[in-house]
Amino acid sequence: MLNSTIKKKIVAEIIRQSGNYPSAAKMAKAIAISPAQLSRIKKGDIEQVLADSKWISIARKLGVELNEQKKWNIARTPAFEFILAQLTACQQNSVSLLLCDSADIGKTFTAKVYARENKHTAYVDCSQVKTKQRLVRKIATEFGVDANGRYADVYEDLIFYLKSLENPLIILDEAGDLQYPAFLELKALWNATERSVGWYMMGADGLKAKIERNLGVKKVGYTELFSRFGGRYQKITPEGKDLMRDFNFEQASKICIACSS
């Protein structure tokens, strides 16, 4: 059972991130509670309002640690700074980029930090929503759009709402796990929101291999999608053994400094 200290910690993060949503109703929809429940807990009424399972779900959504361990400091590594700059550019200019690089360099961490700190930004782990319907419904949920109705309505409502926002950004992590129909739906969604939404697609070597393989056999949709996401693979890590060693050393040094402060 969650104690009041943990619940207050979650409420504090709800209040801190509330500015990332255009209204309390949209935030309530995004974290899957009612506006009345959101209003009550923001006022300090935390007992018998939500089940523990819902508190845990909100904590996961907002990135709140449930234990009392020391909070991790952000290490501004070369990878962090590179991705942060790219996400900022995508959002501010409503453009799309594709990052394919090594695993374990901080792509996911940076993307989640950015999504927590910037309004109208959705982070989506595509490995958890591989089909087109689950993907689109997940994006809708992240923006507080009702994702439970008829799929065609969810899709149209999402497009309508995205085009009403100022510089929304959608971050697609682990994009190589998406099924083919989901890639086609992404192309359609991109077309419908052109110049209105920024997109950032991320993955490791598997994503690049998947795109290259399907470009090679001229599979429908991949040429257009690749073009819409910039037509090239962004990369942080350098080529060459010596340069890579120096890169890893700088990454590790920044992390050590952040953890010791």
Q: What is the CATH number of the domain that holds 191?
A: 3.40.50.300
Contact 44, 38 (CB under 8 A): no
Q: Is residue 152 part of a domain?
A: yes
pLDDT over 90 at 218, yes or no: yes
Q: Does residue 43 sit in the same domain as residue 91?
A: no
Q: Is residue 55 part of a domain?
A: yes
Helix (H, G, I), strand (E, B) or coil at 66: coil
CA–CA gap between residue 261 and residue 253 (Å, rounded): 13
Q: What percent of the chain has pLDDT over 70?
A: 95
Q: Does residue 58 sit in the same domain as residue 84?
A: no
Give the domain range for residue 50.
4-62
Q: Does residue 176 sit in the same domain as residue 216?
A: yes
* Residue 70 pLDDT class (50, 70, 90 cuts): low
Q: Is residue 47 part of a domain?
A: yes
Q: Is residue 46 part of a domain?
A: yes
Q: Does residue 48 sit in the same domain as residue 133?
A: no
Task: Give residue 102's pLDDT.
Answer: 86
The per-residue pLDDT of the chain, averaged, comes to: 90
Q: Is residue 240 part of a domain?
A: no
* Residue 113 pLDDT class (50, 70, 90 cuts): very high
* Residue 205 pLDDT class (50, 70, 90 cuts): confident
Q: CA quadruple 61, 62, 63, 69: dihedral positive or negative?
A: negative
Q: Does residue 97 sit in the same domain as residue 168?
A: yes
Q: Does residue 135 sit in the same domain as residue 195?
A: yes
Q: Does residue 56 sit in the same domain as residue 174?
A: no
Q: Does residue 134 sit in the same domain as residue 182?
A: yes
Q: Is residue 44 part of a domain?
A: yes
159-178 pLDDT tens trace: 999 999 999 999 999 999 99
Q: Is residue 112 part of a domain?
A: yes
Contact 187, 222 (CB under 8 A): no
Q: Is residue 189 part of a domain?
A: yes
Helix (H, G, I), strand (E, B) or coil at 160: helix
pLDDT over 70 at 245, yes or no: yes
Task: Give residue 78's pLDDT.
Answer: 86
Q: Does residue 202 sit in the same domain as residue 106?
A: yes
Q: Which of these ranges, 82-91, 103-112, 204-213, 235-244, has the smallest mean pLDDT?
A: 235-244
As for how many domains the chain has, the answer is 2
pLDDT over 90 at 152, yes or no: yes
Q: Does residue 20 sit in the same domain as residue 102?
A: no
Q: Does residue 52 sit in the same domain as residue 84?
A: no
Query: Global pTM?
Result: 0.82
Q: Does residue 214 sit in the same domain as residue 101?
A: yes
